[in-house]
Amino acid sequence: TSGVTVNQVTKRGTNQIKANARYLRTDGNLQSAPGTVVLPDGSVVPGNQIKSVSEYGGDIGGPLWRDHIWGWVSYGRSDINNIVVGGEPDNTQLKDFNSKLNFQATDKDSGVVHYWTNNKLKEGRNAGPTREAPTTWNQTTPSKIWKLEDTYLASQNLYFTSLWSNNDGGFTLTPQGGLTPFIYLDQNGVLQGTFLDFQQKAIIQQERLDGNVFFNTGAASNELKFGGSYRHQDNRSGTIWPHGYEVINCANVGCGANDPNLNEIEFFRNRLVNIRGEYAAGWAQDTLSWGNLTLNAGARLDDQLLKNRAAFGAGTPIAPMGLIPDVSFPGNDDGGFAWRTVVPRIGLTYALGKERKTLLRGTFSQYAEQLGQLPLATRVNPIGYSYAYFYFDDLNHDHRLDPIDIPTLQFVNTTNIDPNNPASLATPNVNDPRLKPARTNELTAGIDQGFSRDYLATFTLTYRRIDQIPEERLFITDQSGATRLATVNDWVVTSLAQGVLPNGQMSAQVPVYNLKPGLTPTGGTFYTNGDRTQRYLGGTITFTKRLSSQWLANAHFTLSDWTWHLGPQFRLYADPTQLVYDNSDLKFAAQNGDFFEQSSGSGNKGDVLIGSKWSYHANTMYQVASSRPWGFDVVAAVSGRQGYPTPPYAKVSGPVGNRFVLLADSVTEFRNPNIFVLDGRIGKDFKFNDFGLTIGIDGFNLLNNHSILQQQRNTGVTNPTLPAPVEEVLSPRVFRVGATLHFR
């Protein structure tokens, strides 16, 4: 929300020494009372709130050898201490050191040496009403990045830029409860005891060469950009499950609701992955300018592949039937596929009139999906994500598997394990060797209209179509002993699901399908391109008022419509119970009609379905008495969007896995309330020769709205008298004070 003009240090050194130092503080004492939340057990607790947030740091840049070598360094640290619903702490510390050395070796050669190290340390990741404190994680994310870049001016019309970079990063999640307690998910969906431990080391190295050449073709001027790159990424990670298993109360997964002793137990192999991804690319694009017309046309070539490297996976001896033995894996080619794509891009702009105040725009672009390492590589890695699950009677109700409980174990199914040959290095999962990346075709059209010198309005219309979307298809063994893909004709209704909806009413009964007698899942799936498509149509209008007459303003409003369209192949192979959720990745609601993507945010933001049909944002800044010594700046910002959907579901367990059954008539029948937030700032600049001081007070959520951001969607873990308990609310009104000292 800041609109105060500050003399920030350029993020590289110059021939003049410049420096900044800053300190900002948000204190819980400057905060309004938080909203209240009712938990599944009926207790009333405070909602999300801020305990304290402090940020400090600075940077300095200047000449080391005037006109030849310049240096710049910065350091920043943020301490973010929040309190989530239920009163648990969620503390984050961000550390950042950044440095650059720019040089001018000759009149034609210049470059930069860049070193950046940062870390995110978090205590209480995933804290919230569904996690007891010992099950939350302490997280570290250390990273060291080196970059060397050199630009050579070959001639007046031709220059080249070469780059080498290396990112050596880690990621760790350590449960606060340690590895001694047992993991248990209770009837209210609250994780107890402890949780898994995860350690990752990832190294990304890249080499890149870019070229720019300028030339004329008749009356037209051209700028041709071309280049190529090679990148490889090595990912080594390990996951440890305390005691090798997790116990889940059947209320969470719909197994044996009438048997208070019955639980589900999942036995895991401590996961190890050792993956290399290789990415090569080449591109060329020409920008042609001819009078009022500008044309951009180009293409990009990508070549991508994955490899599973050798690794050892320790088994889980306590797992029955020898289902999770030790495995020494020599590695593989991830199923034999490689992605080679060529995608075109073209853009056209035309300026109307002599003053060129009206600009017409249009583009066509095609994008190919980037090859992610997970979960594709681990699907066909026997020491990737592999587990077997059973039902058992917890006879002494201690939420663990004791010797007296072992005789009650009932085998249900496996994932990524062949139950007939658990030690096999050939996993039951198969990646299609002809697998292709999903493709996005995008069309945009727009108009920019200027009004006098300071006002600009724009409108952009966007249409996207995404196809070749991958999906999973279930492998089964039929009565003849043959292994094949399950089709819609292999399913029958075996039960009905029902639950309490967010409005307090009981849902209609929804059919749950299972395989016909005689058909058995193999524990694996086939990953291939399907015939579903996603289509997006959206329009955005923006307004800009440049700074003049002591004020400026910016605003935008967006309407959008994003939909799924299911093809006959998807309906042929899909599990009928799973038509709402993508069977391969629960990030997507796959019902015909509205499309929603699950948040890619981590931690306690993992179950947020993103999807607003409208959103807006506007901000303005006014310089009060700018010509007077006591003048100051006032800033206001308002934003809003449609509330995200919260489709309620029942989780059902069975031989084909734990599945999700939508209990509403559509994904969009239930939504969180719409969001409206007003922020503001008052700031003042002081100038003392070469020094400057900026002080300011920022206010966030000034109207003190307690909007609901997340609700529990699993009706199986919700108290029938408290449908859809709230898991996150907007933090209350709070103020931040800060000061920045500038030198030059």
Give pLDDT < 50 ranges for the chain.
Answer: 1-9, 583-587
| Its pTM surpasses 0.85 | yes
Rounded CA separation 428/475 (Å): 8
Q: What's the confidence (pLDDT) of residue 722? A: 67
Q: What's the confidence (pLDDT) of residue 6? A: 40
Which residue type is seen at 650?
A
Q: What's the confidence (pLDDT) of residue 537? A: 97
Residue whose tokens read 């990112």: 167
Buried b (16+ CB within 10 A) or exposed e, 362-377: ebebbbbbebebeebb
Q: What's the confidence (pLDDT) of residue 120? A: 95
Q: What's the confidence (pLDDT) of residue 581? A: 65
Q: What's the confidence (pLDDT) of residue 601? A: 58
State the pairing for strand pair 245-249/183-185. Answer: parallel
Rounded CA separation 664/165 (Å): 49
Q: Is the peptide bond before 407 cis (omega within 30 degrees of 0)?
A: no
- Over the stretch 67-100, which tens digit does the pLDDT of each residue have? 999 999 999 999 999 998 888 899 999 999 999 9
- Over the stretch 419-473, which tens digit does the pLDDT of each residue have? 999 999 999 999 999 999 999 999 999 999 999 889 999 999 999 999 999 999 9
Q: What's the confidence (pLDDT) of residue 662? A: 87
Rounded CA separation 261/267 (Å): 19
Q: What's the confidence (pLDDT) of residue 588? A: 56
- Over the stretch 479-525, which tens digit does the pLDDT of each residue have? 999 999 999 999 999 989 888 888 888 899 999 999 999 999 999 99
Q: What's the confidence (pLDDT) of residue 603? A: 64
Q: How far apart are the first and last CA of the chain?
A: 24
User: Please, which residues have CB within 8 angstroms of residue 155's CB and are 6 or more apart in sequence?
Assistant: none
Residue whose tokens read 């279930």: 474
Q: What is the DSSP letter of 481?
A: S
Residue whose tokens read 């049909």: 613
